[in-house]
Amino acid sequence: MSSMKTEVAILGGGPGGYTAAFRAADLGKKVVIIEKEDQLGGVCLNVGCIPSKTFLHGAEILRNAKEGEDLGIQFSKPVINIKKMLTHKESVVLKLTNGLKSLCKLRNVQVLHGEGKFIDTKHITVTVPGKGDDGEQDIIVEFDDCIIAAGSRPVVIPSFPVADPRIWDSTRALELPEIPKSLLIIGGGIIGLEMGAVYHELGSEITVVEMADQIIPGADEDLVGILSNTIKDRYKAVYTSTAVTHIDNSGKQLKVYLKGENSPESLAVDSILVAVGRVPNSNKIGIENTGLKTDERGFIPVNSRQETGIPGIFAIGDICGNPMLAHKATHQGKVAAEVISGQKSAFTPMTIPSVAYTDPQLAWMGLTEREAKYTGIEYNIGKFPWTASGRALSESSTNGLSKALFDKNTKRIIGAGIVGKNAGELLAEAVLAMELGADAEDISKTIHAHPTLSETIGLASEIVDGSITDLPGQIK
């Protein structure tokens, strides 16, 4: 048992945690990061965003090679080396985690690898696993301020068989344990569909089961429709409004019982990926010793300064609420660090963008059309189909749609959604437009380079201000 003192303790070294740590250090604070894994970076770097995107890049190359045929370019059948794919992924992750390590050194941010739990509102014990002959060791960290950035983990459904190697969560799926002949994905959200895209290109036959009446339930149905039509052709089946009632794992194949409008009663598959969401890790950090209370979903409530209500304890990222996205956590991390350092910061984004790195990609921000209708907001909308985009045609990517919503009263942009190639990148313009209070004319009169996919946002805005010439005329 040893002890140490620090000004700021950060519980969790994911994107939110390390960003908060670096910002606090840059503002002159002595900072310690407590990270239970051997590497910094959290889910995002190690078992989330980065590895999945590395594999998705591989999947894209496979798909492009197939599509080359239409252009008059034919490749021979690709040879897939899973081992090499994994080492490549690991090298990408390692580059990033090593980068973090050196950034910590440069800033004198100390990292304690071990599980941290609060003892009270000023102390955390960190259980550092033993090395060699040394047993595990407890270090007590005394802090002035603490930022809880302990993240989330995949939901486990208790009624499903446990410890069956054929039933995966997203972390396991990213280890590419095998390329099953048939893979069932339970949960048609972003994570499930991204993994589906990878395994499909690697040769698995994919089935998706989703409870809601559409995949990616948070996005508008016209955008989702384009994605869903595409994957329905590629996959064995996509069952929406369908629940999995039971999994029988006694046979050679997994037998999955379904309950849904159009689904069969049961399916037999080789592997299952369960991707039905994530839960915050708030019950793993000794929170009961601080007096902090979580809400019924386990989130730690915070205000816009990331304060929890207990003086000196802040919370950021997945653990303090939806959406569970790295780019939300990093911004909240900066706010918390700045508030601790005496700055008058607050987390006041107008929107937090969402991106699904599926094929085609799906990205949206601000209000969806459905939300606008539901809340009775009057809006003007511009929808530009990519079939009318020269760039999309030349890229063989006409399977896309860009749309933008503008408030009828203020005229400012209130939402945007894009489905198509690089939608995630294209969305950034709309987010900036919203934060800066741009209206349709501001966007349509901003020159977008030609030929680019980004033009589609400008053209969607032209539809709203009535100046569009790329589509049949609108007489006003």
Can residue 261 be called a binding residue for another protein (CB under 8 A)? Answer: no
**String of contacts with another protein for each residue 30-69, x by CB under 8 A:** ----------------------------------------
317 binds another protein (CB under 8 A): no
CB-CB contact of 142 with 112 (8 Å)? no
Q: How far is the CB of 366 from another protein (least distance, A)?
A: 8
Pairing outcome for strands 205-209 and 182-186: parallel
Distances (CA, A) of 109 to 34, 103, 104: 11, 8, 5
Residue 398 to residue 392: CA distance in whole angstroms: 5
Task: Name the helix (H) or strand (E) containing 107.
Answer: helix 82-107
Handedness of CA 171, 177, 178, 180 (dihedral sign): negative
Q: Are 415 and 367 in contact (CB under 8 A)?
A: yes
Residue 345 binds another protein, judged by CB under 8 A = yes
349 counts as binding another protein under rule CB under 8 A: yes
Active-site residue flag, 450: yes
Write 155-158 long-range contacts (CB < 8 A, 24+). Answer: 155/274, 155/276, 155/277, 155/278, 155/279, 156/274, 157/274, 157/276
CB-CB contact of 392 with 400 (8 Å): yes
Decide if residue 122 touches another protein (CB under 8 A): no
Which one among 74, 102, 348, 469 touches another protein, defined by CB under 8 A?
Answer: 348
**According to the binding rule CB under 8 A, does residue 218 interact with another protein?**
yes
Tell me whether residue 77 or residue 344 sits nearer to another protein (CB atom). Answer: 344
- Indicate whether 305 belongs to the interface with another protein (CB under 8 A): yes
Strand order, beta sheet including 182-186: 167-168, 271-274, 182-186, 205-209, 237-239
Stretch that binds another protein, among 97-105, 136-144, 260-268, 339-347 (CB under 8 A): 339-347
Among 91, 304, 396, 474, binds another protein (CB under 8 A): 304
How far apart are the C-alpha atoms of 97 and 324, rounded to whole Å? 21
Per rule CB under 8 A, is residue 301 in the interface with another protein? yes
Is 266 one of the binding residues for another protein (CB under 8 A)?
Answer: no
Contacting residue, 115, 194, 210, 462, with another protein by CB under 8 A: 210
Span from 136-144, 209-217, 386-394, 451-459 in contact with another protein (CB under 8 A): 209-217
- Active-site residues: which are they? 450
Q: Which residues bind another protein (CB under 8 A)?
A: 155-159, 186-187, 189, 210-213, 216-218, 243-244, 276-277, 279, 282-283, 288, 291-298, 300-305, 307-310, 322, 343-346, 348-350, 366-368, 370-371, 374, 377, 407, 409-412, 414, 435-437, 439, 442
